Structure 1
Amino acid sequence: MRSKTPWQKVFRKIGLSQSSLAKEMGCHRSKISVALKGDDGLVNARDQVSLMKIATKHGVKLTLADFVDVA
């Protein structure tokens, strides 16, 4: 079984819905949907910054390991 992609790990850890996360990131929810379904699920640098800020706002601690695919 394939391990979770970085996008999937971060999304699950933050715990918001796709719509809520998209709203906080200032993007359309389809961006989140596509990112979660992607094969590599890599999080680009701009999104990493946004996700870190959102996680901090919601009391969630993200680490480098959350953004790296350790296959």
Structure 2
Amino acid sequence: MTPWQKVYERFGLTGRQLAIAIGRDRSKITRALKSETGLISGKDQVLLLDAAKRLNVALTPADLLPDND
């Protein structure tokens, strides 16, 4: 599971709702979820962590990083 997929699952929102929550375009979320690596940029990490606080979502720093399998 990629970092974007983990975060998406944690939020439990639609792609559109997540995009609105972090102030990004829905197409960015869609592309990120379909990406093979799904890495999250530093700017998006900050936006996601802020949204998680506002929406009371349990998001950890490990959720933002790829698995080391």
Identity, % of aligned pairs?
Answer: 44
- Name the aligned partner's letter for residue 38 of structure 2: G
Gaps of 5+ in 1: none
Q: What TM-score, normalized to structure 2?
A: 0.90
Corresponding residue for 2:27? 30
Q: CA deviation at 1:42?
A: 0.5
Q: What TM-score, normalized to structure 1?
A: 0.88
Pair 1:49-2:26 in alignment: no
- The count of aligned residue pairs is 68
Corresponding residue for 2:4? 7
Runs of 4+ aligned residues of structure 1 deviating over 2 Å after TM superposition are none
CA RMSD in angstroms comes to: 0.9
Q: Distance in 2 between matches of 1:60 and 1:26?
A: 17
